[in-house]
Amino acid sequence: MNWYIAKLVYQVISGVGNHTPQFDEQLRLIRADEYGWAREKASIVGHLLEYKCKNSVGEEVVWKFVNVVDVVPLPSLEDGDEIYSTTSEPKDVNEYLAALSVKTELIFNQHQ
């Protein structure tokens, strides 16, 4: 059995009418004999983890599975191994860095 990292994308749909489009990108560990099965298994996981709930104002919020957008084999699981990489080419570097800073702060604050 081999380990893979799969990138799953969900569309987050909240409320009725106008809302800011949101997409949740998740990296998931998948264990499979070969690449094709890893991709299929990731898709199954994606569908199984679709989710519905109510937000704080009672509107329905849905995580709708969109697709598996990448599957990468992990040759090993050692401390410091790279498990995923992506390259961005933003039109506005300052805007990208500012958004990254805000996102990073939000993530770290959630874990404190």
Rounded average pLDDT per 10-residue block, the chain, 112 residues: 94 80 92 96 97 88 94 88 82 92 88 78
What pLDDT is stored for residue 17 in this prediction? 66
Residues 30/3, Cβ–Cβ less than 8 Å: yes
Residues 44/71, Cβ–Cβ less than 8 Å: no
Residue 84 tokens, joined: 């995923």
- Cα–Cα distance, 7 to 19 (Å, whole number): 25
- Global confidence as pTM: 0.73
Burial (Cβ within 10 Å: 0-12, 13-18, ≥19) of residue 1: exposed
H helices present in the chain, as ranges:
35-48, 93-110
Cα dihedral value 10, 2, 86, 52, nearest 10: 10
What pLDDT is stored for residue 49 in this prediction? 96
Residues 4/71, Cβ–Cβ less than 8 Å: yes
